Amino acid sequence: MRKNITKERLKAGETVYGCFVRYPSASLIEVLGYQPWDFLVFDGEHGTIEPQDCEHMVRAAELQNVTPIVRVTTNQAPTILRLMDTGAQGLHIPWVNTTAEAEAAVRSVKYHPRGVRGLAGIRAADYGFRESYTEYVEAANRETLVVIHIETIDAVNELPEMVKIDGIDVIFIGPTDLSHSLGVPGQSQHPDVQAAMQRIVEIVAGTNLALGIMVPNAQAAQQWQQRGARYITIGFESLLMPAVHHYLTTMRTGTNA
């Protein structure tokens, strides 16, 4: 089992940077891996990534020693099992709204004695060739990264209890879904949404957990880092589209827009 460098850096108090990719392309992950990302998130919730795609994408990330992490479609043990078995070193779990759901997520990711994840000689365990199951289970429980999404006002209200659960590493804010939960869909700057996010910031600040967020650009990343975020992500499209726009505008107008 590979060492989870991203988790190690978080535990050391460092800030880590990652990119969300929703497209089932190992080649794209390989190309992104040539940049100094700490981790890449394969988005199975808002993308079309299936377990076989995820396995190939994990292999591509490993080429450059970038931590492969996957976002599952739902907080269900069978779904989590299939994607973690590909060799992903961490999991984003969306729509975790209660303390019981957070506990269930951790138990689905971890093996005995912390969890109930099914054990087999799968890719994550190097097919059982390099170490015993006992050694693998100990390593997997230690190295896997658990990221809980807080995306509703119910989850915000439950957060003071959620952060007490052993095995959670990152509390990840979902501003868009949070705005939807608060009745102002897409208005992440609405005062109610901002107040809810600030409450999350304050709750996490009193723990040893890392605060996570997805940002649209480097300026927003810097602002969130100042607010305490240490697990900072950006969507692949947020990087691609400004570069494409700049190139086309420059070439068609002759100005450096």
Other C-beta atoms lying within 10 Å of the C-beta of residue 218: 11
Q: Which residues are catalytic?
A: 46
Q: What DSSP assignment string belongs to 178-203? A: HHHHTT-TT-TTSHHHHHHHHHHHHH
Q: How many CB atoms lie within 10 A of CB 66?
A: 25
Per the CB < 8 A criterion, the answer to whether 42 and 52 are in contact is no
Structure token pair of residue 14:
């460092």
DSSP string, 123-163: GGGGGGSSS-HHHHHHHHHHH-EEEEEE-SHHHHHHHHHHT
Work out the angle at residue 237's Cα, subtended by the Cα atoms of residues 234 and 242, and round it to the nearest 5 degrees: 100
- What does the block give as tokens for 254? 């002759």
Integer Cα distance of 21 and 240 in angstroms: 11
